[in-house]
Chain A
Amino acid sequence: MHVIVARQGGGVVLVASDEQASALGLVPGMSLVTARALHPALSVHEAAPDADRALLDSLADAAERYTPLVGVYGADTLLLDVTGAAHLYGGEEGLLADARTRIQARGFHLRAAIAGNPVTARAVALYGAGGIIAPGAEADAVNDIAVAALGLDPARRASLERLGLKRIGDCINRPRAPLAERFGKDFIDKLDALIGRVETPISPRRAWPACVAERRFAEPIGHEEDIRRSLLTLAADLKRILEKCGQGARALELAFFRADGATRMIRIETGHPLRDPQTLLRLFREKLDGLSDPLDPGFGFDAIRLSARHVEDFTETLTSLDAQEDFEAELVALVDRLAACFGARSVQRLAALNSHSPERASRLIPAQSVGALALDFSAFAPMEDDAPVRPIRLIEPPERVEVLAEVPDGPPIRFRWRRVLHAVIRTDGPERIAPEWWRMPEGTPTRDYYRVEDEDGRRFWLYRDGLYDRETGTPRWFLHGLFA
C-alpha cells in the first residue's frame, strides 16, 4: 500500500495513492496524519514533480512514433494529434490497441480516447470510459461524465452540484442564457468545446516539422547496414519533398523508435540549406560517431523518422565552369561535418567587430553562424614593408608583467613574463588606445601599447595601464599579445 505525499500549506497531504490505498479510502487531499491514523502500515513516498515531468516527457518522446504533434497537459496527460496517422495501424482501434500494449509493457496503466477534438478526448479518457468517439457522437459520449471534466474552479463546481447539475448531460440540455448568466461565458465555451461545437487546437510541445519522411518496419531493424539503407531512403524521400517546395533543410532531426518504446532523437544543424541525401547522411554519421553514449538498437527499431525542423529557400547551384563555387560549397560542407562531429562552437571563424578596443576588434564565433557578420579586416592589411602592428595571437585576459622602464612614461627596457626575464632591444610606441568610454566603466585607464623585441628576436605586445601622473602614479604593465 503506497501513497505519495507533498507539503501543502501547513501540512503534509496525500497527492496520489495506489489502487489498494484508494480502495481503503485514502484519497488525494487527505492529510498524512489522518491517513497514518487510519492505516499505520502505510508506505509513504515524497512527491518528485521534476522526475514525474521527465518521465512524462520520455513518454511524450515515445508517443512521437504516432505523430510529431504531441502535447503535454498537466501532470499525467498526453494529447496527440493523430490526424492521418491511424491508417498505419489499421484504423483508430488498431492505434489505440498499439498504444495500450506499448504503455502497459512499460508498466503503466492507460486511459485513452480518440475524438474529433482534444477536449472531448481528454474528458472521456479521464472521466469517462475511454475508447473511440465517432464524429457527431460527442454529446452522447460526454453525457454521463461528471461536471469536474469541465475544469472549473471549486466554487463554481460546488454551486453546479448544489443545483443538481452533476453530469455534463444535465447542463447540455438546459437553456443557455441563464447558465451563462449564472456561471459565466467561459462555462458555455467549455461546454461547447466538450461536445465538439468549437474547434480547439492542441498546443504541441514542438512545432510541426517543415517536412517529414518516415519508415516503419514490420520486423524491427538493428543491423548497421539495414539502418544505413533505410536512412538513405528516408533522406531521398525528404529530398523529394524539399524539392517540391524549393527548399533545403537548415536543421534536421532523426528520431529512432525502438520496439520496446525507448526513443532517441539526433539533431544536426547545417550552415546552408541542404537536401543532398549523401551529404545529410554523412552529417548524421559524423554526429552518431561522435555521440558519447552511442545509439543502441536493443532489439531493433520499428520506426525511424527524419524531419526537417527548419527550412530555407534552396538556391540551385549550377555546375559551372567556375571551380571557385564548387570549392566554396565543399568548404561549407566541411564546416558542417566538423560542426556535427565536434560541436558547432568548436568550429570557428574570426569576425571583425568595429571597435578600437583590441580585445573587442576580433572575435572567434561559430563558423555556421557567421552569416551577415563581417570578416573584413582590410583595415589591418599589410602595407609595403611596414611591420605588422598587431600580434597574431592575443593573450586574453592580458597577463601582468613586471617592467623596468627608464622613465615612468617611457618604453620598457626589461620585463619579466611567466618568470622569464626579457631584455628589450627594440621598441615601437606608444600607440595610445583610449577606453571606449560608452562601454567601459568610468575611470578605465588609457593604455599605451608598445611593440617590443627582446635580444633573441621574440616580439611582444605590451601596454602600460594608465597615463603616468594623470591617471596613475605607479602604472602597471600587461602583456596582451605575441607577434610571430
Chain B
Amino acid sequence: MTGRGAPALAALRSAIERIGKDGSTAPLAPPSARAALGLDEADKALGGGLKRGAFHALRPQRPGEEPAATGFALACALRLAAERPLLWVRQAMAEREYGLPYGPGLMGFGLDPARLVCVEAADARAALKAAEEGLRCKALGAVLIEPWGAPKAVDLVALRRLVLAAEASGVSALFLRSGGPEIADPGATRWAVGAHRSESAFGPGLPAFRVTLERGGHAGQVEFVMEWSCEQRVFRRAAHSGARVPLSTDGPVETITPFRRVG
C-alpha cells in the first residue's frame, strides 16, 4: 500500500461505519436533494420527498392538535436532517401553553436530545432572528421554528429571508404556526396536520397523523394517514402497530363501583 492510500482507506472505513440503519451516509456525503418520508403515496405527491434546504410551513388542522403538529414537524425534521443536529426555536409564550420539550419523550420519539439545541426566544422577532442564524449554519440538519400566535413580525419579507438562508446553506426550515389568520408564506410546501387515532387494540400506539398537503408537489386536498416509527425514524402506513400488553403495575381491579365522579 502506498503512503497516500492509507488515509484514504481510513476515511473510507469511517464512512462505512457511519452508514446508519436507514442507509443514510450523512453527514459525510452531502444529503440528497430530497428526503423521502417513507410513505409511498406522500413521497410520490412530493416528487420523491421533502425538499432539503427549503422552507416548509405547517399548521394544526384543528385546535388541540398542536402537539400532533409539533410531532409531525419533528418527524419531518428528523427525515430532513439525516444524522445532523436540529435547532428548535420556541417562543417563551408557547411554553406556558404546550409545555417544555421533554428529554425522555423526545428520545422515545426517535429524537436523541444529544442532537438538539433549543432557543427560547422572547418574542417573534427574536425567534425569526435565531432561526435565520441557525439556517445559515451548515452543520445543522433542520431548524424548527414555532412562533406564537400571529405576531406582526411574521410577514412575507421576514419569511422570505428564511427561505433565502435555507436555500443558501441547504439547511431545511420547518415553520410551525399555531392558530392565527392565514398568511402568505413563501414555502416549498404547506401542511395541515391532525392527530390520528391509534390502531392498537390496547393503549395509545405509535404517533399517528392525518396530514393534508396544501401546497407544493401535487397538492390536492388528499389526506395522508401515516404512522411514525420511532425506532426506524420513518413514516409508514398506519395499522402497523402490533398489540401490546398494558404496563399495569398494580393487581387487577377487584371492586367495581359504577360511574363515580372523582377529582
Contacts and interface: CB of A to CB of B under 8 A. Distances in A.
Q: Is A bound to B?
A: yes
Interface of A: 321-324, 326-328, 330-331, 333-335, 337-338, 341-342, 345-352, 358, 361-364, 367, 375-396, 400-410, 420, 425-432, 448, 451-453, 455-459, 464, 474-477, 481-484
B259 to A, nearest CB: 6
Contacts of B253: 407, 409-410
B158 interface: no
Contact of B241 (A334, A346, A375, A385): A385
A349 B113 contact: yes
Contact of B70 (A323, A393, A432, A464): A393
A392 B72 CA distance: 12
Interface string B189-209: 000001111101011111110
Contacts of A390: 102, 104-105, 107-108
A387 B107 contact: no
A381 B116 CA distance: 15
A377 B260 contact: no
Pairs A-B, 7 closest by C-beta atoms: A484-B71, A428-B203, A362-B103, A388-B108, A382-B230, A393-B99, A330-B139
Interface stretch (B51-59, B147-155, B173-181, B242-250): B242-250
B102 A458 contact: no
Interface residues of B, number: 88
B203 A346 contact: no
A330 B130 CA distance: 15
Interface stretch (B41-49, B60-68, B214-222): B60-68
B32 to A, nearest CB: 16
A350 B263 contact: no
8 contacts: A328-B139, A333-B137, A334-B137, A334-B139, A342-B122, A387-B244, A483-B207, A484-B75
B109 interface: yes
Interface string B106-125: 11111011101111111000
A342 B204 contact: no
B255 interface: yes
Interface of B: 7, 10-11, 14, 27-28, 62, 64-65, 67-68, 70-72, 74-75, 84-85, 87, 98-110, 112-114, 116-122, 126, 129-130, 133-134, 137-140, 194-198, 200, 202-208, 210, 228-231, 240-242, 244, 246-250, 253, 255-263
| Interface of chain A: mostly helix, strand, loop or mixed | mixed
Nearest to B229: A385
B98 A393 contact: yes
Contacts of A403: 262-263
A341 B98 contact: no
A318 to B, nearest CB: 12
Given A334-B140, A403-B263, A457-B198, A375 B119 contact: no
A330 B195 CA distance: 36
Contact of A380 (B101, B108, B138, B198): B108
B204 A452 contact: yes
A451 B11 CA distance: 46
A342 B126 contact: yes
Contacts of A323: 27-28
Given A324-B27, A385-B240, 17 more contacts: A323-B27, A333-B137, A334-B134, A334-B139, A342-B121, A351-B103, A352-B113, A377-B112, A380-B104, A391-B102, A409-B250, A426-B198, A429-B247, A451-B204, A456-B65, A458-B67, A484-B71
